[in-house]
Amino acid sequence: MMSSPSFAWEYVPKGWTAPEPGYFGSEADGRDTLAALKTYKGQSEAWKNAYGDLRSEILSYQKSAKEELKLLKEQMEVERRAWKKEIQVSQTKNTIYLLLALGIGYVAGN
């Protein structure tokens, strides 16, 4: 809450009632301005801290997600190699059965 009802600052030229030109207000206005600056500074620091905390959480999550993806890729590669081996075994069996059938057919035909 502001202590003065107007919270008015007015410009005072050099030599008028002040040694330097600038904006001057009452003592109450000065206190209110200082309190507002302290509040804003506190809020700013709180936001910076919250940002830092959130950023560290995000970096931690990214690191763990990257590790999980790497592990999943490795597992998929192991499965892929097993499937290829299984397919090769199946193709080899099919080739043997086909040759066996052709051999039996040839022997039966002659």
For position 75, what pLDDT does the model report? 97
CB 3 within 8 A of CB 14: no
CA distance 62 to 52: 15
Which residues of the chain carry a pLDDT beneath 70? Answer: 1-15, 17-18
* Residues paired with 41 in a beta bridge: none
For position 30, what pLDDT does the model report? 82
For position 14, what pLDDT does the model report? 67
For position 55, what pLDDT does the model report? 97
pLDDT digits (tens, 9 = 90+) for 16-44: 766 777 777 777 888 888 999 999 999 99
Q: In sequence order, what E strands does 8-109 have?
A: 10-12, 22-24
For position 2, what pLDDT does the model report? 47
Domain boundaries, the chain: 10-109
* Residues paired with 102 in a beta bridge: none
